């Protein structure tokens, strides 16, 4: 079923799940494919309205898979709709291909196909892909790259896209591809590095230097106040009580 750009992020990709419908003794060996989320899109320019329908299908996973079933249904529907006058009383009806829904409750053992929800801007994504191909060519030919107008925005969009993919991979499939956060300024070596993240203080021989002040880091704000930071140093034995 076709998905309009405005509704793309609300579309659930379909896929196989063993718990989609109750099993009966006759179908206990069958698995289930669920086939499309509901969506309606009015096109005032053509007077057409678009709806995405949902279809539940049972199949034997030992014989096929959800994607193959979707392809078979595409062919079946195409054959049926080619029958003369079959839909004449309904006007101009157009049906696009089937998709396979991703069920968030599917167990890890059944997640050989990973599904992600993304909002894609077609023209911008095309430009981003062209930029990546350009960089690939520069790299292969050992050429230097000079950023063009708008390249920074394209890269920013690509980073946001990969961040979204990484977040969903981590949250939905337990895949650890998240970036490690950069250390805060208070953790970097320096005169006021206390060795305790979130606390600024001058330390000598593992103890707070005489007359040295203790402050919380205003960047990472791990501690609510300077007093809380001092209390932590005392707790760790780095400052006198």
Write the DSSP assignment of 34-49 as a string of letters.
Answer: E----EEEEETTTTEE
Domain residue ranges of the chain, discontinuous segments joined by +? 5-110, 122-173, 185-236
This prediction has a pTM of 0.40
Write the DSSP assignment of 133-147 as a string of letters.
Answer: HHHHHHHHTT-----
> Are the C-beta atoms of residues 217 and 198 closer than 8 Å to each other?
yes
> Are the C-beta atoms of residues 166 and 177 closer than 8 Å to each other?
yes
C-alpha 68/C-alpha 73 separation (Å) is 9
Give helix 122-140 / helix 151-173 axis angle, nearest 10°. 100
Residue 71 has pLDDT above 90, yes or no: no
The pLDDT of residue 241 is: 83
For 194-214, letters b (16+ CB in 10 Å) and e give bebebbbbbbeeeebeeebeb
- Backbone torsion region of residue 41, taken as left when φ is above 0, otherwise alpha when ψ lies between -120 and 50, otherwise beta: beta
Task: Please give the DSSP secondary-structure letter assigned to residue 14.
Answer: B
Residues 6 or more apart whose CB falls under 8 angstroms from that of 169 comprise 114, 116, 175, 177
List the one residue out of 12, 91, 106, 113 whose CA is nearest residue 54: 12
Taking only the tens place, the pLDDT of each residue in 160-178 is 999 999 988 888 888 888 8
pLDDT interval class at 46 (50, 70, 90): low
Taking only the tens place, the pLDDT of each residue in 111-129 is 457 788 888 999 999 999 9
Strand pairing category for 207-208 and 203-204: antiparallel
């Amino acid at each position: 079923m076709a998905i309009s750009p405005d509704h793309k992020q609300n579309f659930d990709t379909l896929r196989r799940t063993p718990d989609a419908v109750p099993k009966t003794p006759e179908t206990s060996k069958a698995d289930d494919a669920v086939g499309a989320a509901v969506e309606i899109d009015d096109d005032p320019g053509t007077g057409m309205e678009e709806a995405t329908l949902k279809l539940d299908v049972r199949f034997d996973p030992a014989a096929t898979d959800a994607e193959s079933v979707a392809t078979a249904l595409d062919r079946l529907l195409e054959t049926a709709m080619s029958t003369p006058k079959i839909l004449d009383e309904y006007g101009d009806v157009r049906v696009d291909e089937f998709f396979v829904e991703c069920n968030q409750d599917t167990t890890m053992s059944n997640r050989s196909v990973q599904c992600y929800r993304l909002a894609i801007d077609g023209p911008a994504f095309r430009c981003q892909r062209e930029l990546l191909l350009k960089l690939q060519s520069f790299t292969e030919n050992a050429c230097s790259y000079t950023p063009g107008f708008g390249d920074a925005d394209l890269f920013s969009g690509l980073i946001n896209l990969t961040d979204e993919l990484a977040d969903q991979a981590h949250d939905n499939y337990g895949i650890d591809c998240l970036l490690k956060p950069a250390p805060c300024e208070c953790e970097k070596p320096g005169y006021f590095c206390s060795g305790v993240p979130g606390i600024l203080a001058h330390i000598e021989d593992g103890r707070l230097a005489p007359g040295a002040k203790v402050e919380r880091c205003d960047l990472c704000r791990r501690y609510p106040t300077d007093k809380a930071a001092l209390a932590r140093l005392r707790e760790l034995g780095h400052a006198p009580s």
